[in-house]
């Protein structure tokens, strides 16, 4: 960089700071400190529901360490998540903080079991702690007129609840800057025997290394910091009752790995500053889970562990949806096909100009985009009944060939079959990392959704 451009950059930086160009005037860092106290307030919620109805009840307000999130643009968000909330100042409508999250209970509500059963699951909302009393209002993303929760937040009362320190070994995998300027990931160990801390550290290095070798994480690595938390407890087992309660078979889906011990998980995680949480499980069995703004899980010892970590993290970090539709079992009812999903990689719309990723669509692509779907579907049906491994591997090979059709590999279009539905829901590409483990990476649409989230967290709230 020459002298002139360096001087110009300094000048530009001064102008940028003075005008807050592109940002909300109210929430530059100095404003943050006059509204928030610099800690994170964890609100523990009980989410109760069945197929017909749902409700939220606050269970606890806990100071959860320093606020590691952005300090600007807090009154806006990316409008992601099944549920949205705002923190307002006092009894006014002035929004101090806005956010969203998705929910395991919401997934369960579309299962047949929810037709005649009611369940309660604990979920977490983390916000910067306000200096003065405020109100938290929460609603379902497509029903903003129906408030599901309306509670007072009194910082003087919540300060009595603080996480107790649980025995754990805390390490920095890499730290690229202060928490307020970085996207901070916490990786929590689950199911590791006490003497396997070294194994956990090596797996974190390997799997996180593979994640940051994939675009767009690769080019954005400098914006991330990663810390690990290894609970020092008696050995636990994933297959049985683990300390953190992480187990397979969630929602009756064997590969779905998640936990119901929300508060314990959060107590361990709070020992490091974090924005996003990953739980790495010492298991050789294939499995994982990821829910937007809750957390991601992945089995650490499977040949596809890196894929699992990246795929599940994309759910929990950027709110990307599953694009696959075969073998979806109980969650097949999550997207009705009647409401346009909020996720940036699913649509029910077939008019090119209405498609949320229209600007990425290849001008030459046919909309909807033909692919060998009928053949793929029939292979899926055969795979369900194939019990001889030779037969299975032949079917997998044919399916792999369909998903690696060279004429469609880099095409962004409108491919039918996504979001657990064979018909009526569309994905942007033939085979993205949100569709199958055999993909080369994220497609342009998923990559852009992740990029957008990274930009937002690093101060570019457009």
Chain residues binding Zn ion by CB under 5 A are: 322
- Closest CB 311 distance from Zn ion, rounded Å: 5
Q: Residue 335: which of 106, 139, 147, 104 has the closest Cα?
A: 106
User: What one-character-per-residue DSSP string does 429-441 give?
Assistant: SSS-TTT-TTSSS
How far apart are alpha carbons 353 and 359 in whole angstroms?
Answer: 9
Who's near 445: CB < 8 A, 6+ residues apart?
A: 344, 345, 357, 360, 412, 428, 429, 432
Helix H or strand E segment including 385: helix 373-385
By beta-carbon proximity to Zn ion, the closer residue of 43 and 291 is 291
Question: What is the Cα–Cα distance from 443 to 190, expressed in whole angstroms?
Answer: 31
Give the residue with the Cβ less far from Zn ion, 77 or 322: 322
**Cα 204 to Cα 73: distance, rounded to the nearest angstrom:** 32
Q: Which is nearer to Zn ion, 67 or 276 (CB)?
A: 276
Structure tokens at 273: 């500053």
Burial (0-12, 13-18, 19+ Cβ within 10 Å), 68: buried
199 or 255: whose CB is closer to Zn ion?
255
Shortest Cβ 426–Zn ion spacing (Å): 17
Nearest distance from C-beta of residue 277 to Zn ion, angstroms: 17
Minimal distance in Å, beta carbon 435 to Zn ion?
Answer: 9
Cβ contact 99:77 at 8 Å? yes
**Closest Cα to residue 268, out of 315, 316, 317, 230?**
230
What residues are paired with 122 via a beta bridge? Answer: 46
| 367 cis-preceded (ω within 30 degrees of 0) | no
How many residues are there in the chain?
462
3-state helix, strand, coil in the chain (%, to 5): 30, 25, 45
- H runs (alpha helix) in 212-303: 262-269
Q: Check if the beta carbon of residue 41 is closer than 8 Å to that of residue 63.
A: yes
Choose between 54 and 322: whose C-beta lies nearer to Zn ion. Answer: 322
CB of 290 to Zn ion, least distance (A): 6
The residue (of 264 and 403) whose beta carbon lies closer to Zn ion is 403
Give whichever of 273 and 428 is closer to Zn ion, judged by the CB atom. Answer: 428
Considering the complex, state which of residue 96 and residue 318 has its C-beta at the smaller distance from Zn ion. Answer: 318
Nearest approach, Cβ of 30 to Zn ion (angstroms)? 40
Which residue, 236 or 322, has its beta carbon nearer to Zn ion?
A: 322
What's the closest the beta carbon of residue 131 comes to Zn ion, in angstroms? 39
For Zn ion, which is the closer residue by CB, 231 or 288? 288
Query: Nearer Cβ to Zn ion, position 270 or 298?
Result: 298
CB of 308 to Zn ion, least distance (A): 9
Which lies closer to Zn ion via its Cβ, residue 322 or residue 416?
Answer: 322
The residue nearest Zn ion at its CB is: 322
At 457, give phi and psi (nearest 5°): -75, -15
Query: Smallest gap, in angstroms, from Cβ of residue 315 to Zn ion?
Result: 5
Instruction: State the nearest-atom distance from the C-beta of 154 to Zn ion, in Å.
Output: 38
Rg of the chain's alpha carbons, rounded to an integer? 22
Cα 345 versus chain centre, distance? 14
- Smallest gap from residue 434 Cβ to Zn ion (A): 7
The pair of three-digit structure tokens given for residue 447, joined into one six-digit string: 């990559």
How many other C-beta atoms lie within 10 A of the C-beta of residue 227?
22
Dihedral sign for Cα atoms in the order 167, 173, 177, 183? negative
Asked if 413 contacts 429 with a C-beta cutoff of 8 angstroms, the reply is yes
Q: What's the min distance (Å) between Cβ of 419 and Zn ion?
A: 10
Cα gap 15→226, rounded to integer Å = 33
């Amino acid at each position: 960089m020459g002298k002139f451009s360096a001087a110009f950059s300094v000048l530009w930086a001064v102008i940028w700071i003075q005008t807050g160009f592109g940002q909300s005037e109210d929430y530059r860092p100095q404003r943050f400190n006059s509204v928030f106290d610099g800690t994170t307030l964890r609100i523990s919620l009980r989410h109760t529901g069945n197929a017909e109805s749902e409700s939220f009840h606050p269970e606890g307000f806990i100071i959860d360490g320093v606020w590691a999130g952005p300090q600007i643009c807090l009154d806006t968000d990316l409008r992601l998540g099944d549920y949205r909330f705002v923190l307002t100042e006092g009894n006014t409508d002035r929004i101090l903080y806005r956010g969203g999250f998705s929910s395991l209970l919401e997934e369960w509500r579309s299962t047949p079991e929810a037709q005649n059963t009611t369940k309660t699951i604990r979920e977490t909302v983390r916000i910067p702690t306000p200096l003065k009393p405020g109100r938290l209002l929460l609603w379902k993303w497509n029903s903003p007129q129906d408030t599901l929760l309306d509670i007072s937040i009194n910082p003087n009362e919540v300060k009595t609840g603080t996480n107790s320190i649980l025995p754990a070994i805390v390490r920095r995998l890499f730290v690229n800057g202060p928490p307020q300027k970085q996207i901070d990931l916490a990786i929590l160990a689950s199911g590791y025997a006490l003497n396997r801390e070294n194994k956990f550290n090596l797996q974190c290095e390997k799997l996180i290394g593979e994640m940051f070798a994939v675009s767009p994480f690769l080019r954005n690595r400098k914006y991330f910091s990663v810390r690990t938390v290894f609970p020092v407890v008696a050995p636990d087992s994933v297959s049985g009752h683990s300390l953190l309660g992480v187990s397979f078979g969630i929602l009756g889906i064997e590969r779905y790995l998640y936990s119901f011990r929300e508060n314990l998980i959060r107590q361990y995680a709070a020992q490091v500053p974090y924005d996003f949480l990953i739980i790495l499980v010492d298991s050789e069995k294939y499995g994982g889970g990821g829910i937007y703004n809750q957390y991601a899980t992945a089995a650490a010892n499977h040949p596809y562990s890196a894929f699992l970590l990246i795929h599940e993290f994309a759910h929990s970090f950027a709110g990307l949806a599953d694009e696959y539709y075969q073998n979806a079992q109980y969650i097949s009812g999550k997207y009705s096909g009647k409401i346009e999903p909020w996720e940036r990689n699913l649509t029910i719309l077939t008019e090119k100009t209405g498609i949320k990723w229209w600007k990425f669509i290849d001008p030459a692509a046919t909309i909807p985009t033909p692919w060998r779907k009928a053949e793929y579907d029939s292979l899926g049906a055969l795979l369900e009944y194939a019990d001889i491994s030779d037969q299975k591997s032949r079917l997998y090979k044919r399916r792999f060939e369909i998903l690696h059709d060279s004429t469609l590999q880099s095409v962004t279009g409108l491919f039918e079959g996504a979001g657990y539905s064979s018909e009526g829901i569309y994905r942007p590409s033939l085979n993205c990392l949100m569709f199958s483990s055999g993909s080369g990476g994220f497609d342009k649409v998923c990559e852009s959704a992740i990029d957008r989230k990274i930009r937002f967290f690093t101060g570019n709230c457009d």
